[in-house]
Chain A
């Protein structure tokens, strides 16, 4: 083979190497652009900001909060979507993730969007860029909770206006803050939230219960933590009535009937829904 043929062969080989390298670069560029679109089109709002709040990257959902195109997010400030009070809360959360004494790298909190009836659950994570560890950035993602909150409000309105007494007890049989308004009428008190169910329902009328009924009442103290099967086995033995004395008429009062529904989580009873029906004295 002549030297010119050798050189041509070498050039051809080099050219193939070059073509192969170019091909893999094009492939990487394309896959990078496509994977970026997953963030761009995410239904969750996403942005990266500097310490000052300046936005250096954001997706379409976040851009909609500022009524701008995604490419117009650069140099806008995250604080623009928050009220002055919200900005203070946000600054405090940033300080929290920056605090070297806290081991948390991520912080989650709810904040409403200024001038809009929207509430987001925000998650903030701090990171530094490899090239310059002095520069700190914050990756922020936000989930719109507005529809969830609206549903909760609607449900809460229905719950509060039920024509029966309904309350929910959680760990240690404490009554949860939300209960139907009728519960206050039935129990004759507004001091309900946070109280222990046994005290609230049975203490004042304990003397009117038979021994068997007292045992049935005490079963309530052990059902939290039961499996669904254990609860099914015991639910028929739970006390079905409580006597509520009338403070104005000593010795008199009225019986209310009780029904219970377990609040299950991971097949374990985590709480009870207690329904109180008025019954004639």
Chain B
């Protein structure tokens, strides 16, 4: 269970990373009706393809372009929906699974947009898209100078797992470095799977 305590102020890339991590965790908690969602300390499974499917959303602001994604296998999302709706797995059609994962990204993208606008940075979001996880090999970025890349696992209470990712293409480093965010401090465990931040 998440417990709010004093906020900690993060800056620049750390703030953006944390903001996106929190938004994705909160999105999955809200959409999956599971307050126990967290980022486990275990390392990521091998990449760059982390799931059969991925749900993607884009955000555009004057200082950066953000791509948020969640990799998933349909049986994991289907099980989550079956639990939420108290329905047998067979009743959960593919279209519903896709809608569920689109909506998750909508929530996370909307949350990032609100946080950015709260800091005076206007942002627009795209529609969320469902595509194959395999498509990642055509878009994955390694060590691109003006990109901030972060992939991390998301674990639900029932131990089912997703992999979330973000890529931020920086348009204005000055704006990014000046970005400040009051991250909510919680006691639910480390948000970062690389030990960088502790605020959920």
Contacts and interface: CB of A to CB of B under 8 A. Distances in A.
Contacts of A137: 137
A184 interface: no
A126 to B, nearest CB: 13
Given A71-B52, A71-B74, A74-B52, A129 B130 contact: no
Interface residues of A, number: 25
A154 to B, nearest CB: 40
B163 to A, nearest CB: 11
Q: Is the interface of A mostly helix, strand, loop or mixed?
A: mixed
B142 interface: yes
Nearest to A48: B134
Most buried by B among A22, A25, A29, A69: A29
Nearest to B102: A29
Contacts of B142: 131-132, 134-135
A60 interface: no
Contacts of B141: 131-132
Nearest to B56: A29
Contacts of B52: 70-71, 73-74
Contacts of A70: 52
A131 B139 contact: yes
Contacts of B126: 25
Given A36-B132, A71-B52, A137-B137, 20 more contacts: A22-B127, A25-B126, A25-B127, A26-B127, A29-B129, A29-B130, A32-B131, A48-B134, A48-B137, A54-B46, A56-B137, A70-B52, A71-B73, A72-B73, A73-B52, A74-B51, A75-B46, A129-B138, A131-B140, A135-B137
Interface of A: 22, 25-26, 29, 32-33, 36, 48, 54, 56-57, 69-75, 129-132, 134-135, 137
